A and B are shown apart, each in its own frame.
Chain A
């Protein structure tokens, strides 16, 4: 198992090694020591590698991940797993703002809380937060699912397109054009699958409420001027 101690090894070496893993390689499990809040740890992974980061990271950890499995045994700074394409990213602590921003695929699991704008502009990623999320989460969310076992802050799902939002706790307020929607059997089934993929065993789909787009802002309408 390749081990990179970022206290003594440049970050560049780690990312270059991750990008250099050939298809079909055997040695695909990486360990990262002493990240000490460094930015851009394990970014641009483009294959099925496994990375275990022992400590907390700064901005954009696992950014643009495309197939890797990244576990952070600590907390993550802003933009963790931004624009993820595929794979899994697990944050065992808390995540700062913009977690999973613009993600197009894969699964992001945050075992603590996530700050504001979690899932902003999400485009297909699935995000499961064990704790609570901050304000303006899923802003302009286009597709994918955001599952929150705790509470959601103000203006959840503002200007939402077709992302699906599931919250077990309270929602401080909904953003423009975001409404509560009925939980139908297909949603319960979808949510059960997500909870299972994220390893959640202490929550049942029936405990959640579903939120989505009212689709009132999809087309320009002069009577909606106060919402634009």
Chain B
């Protein structure tokens, strides 16, 4: 089996890369791309939870990330429909 540290440090790397990508990544002027970039960091958090054996926390986290993405996309689409300058 793979060493447990592989999961942990992959998670750490994904998290830092994902956060940098969300803040100054390519094409983040489009809010949809910025939202999708946060998913990279979310996968990193999932891997860190996996290292610690936080099963219920991991399941709830996956579900709540999905809901948060839906909320953010709904906010983006509605604001664009209003033609608001944000």
Do A and B make up one complex?
no
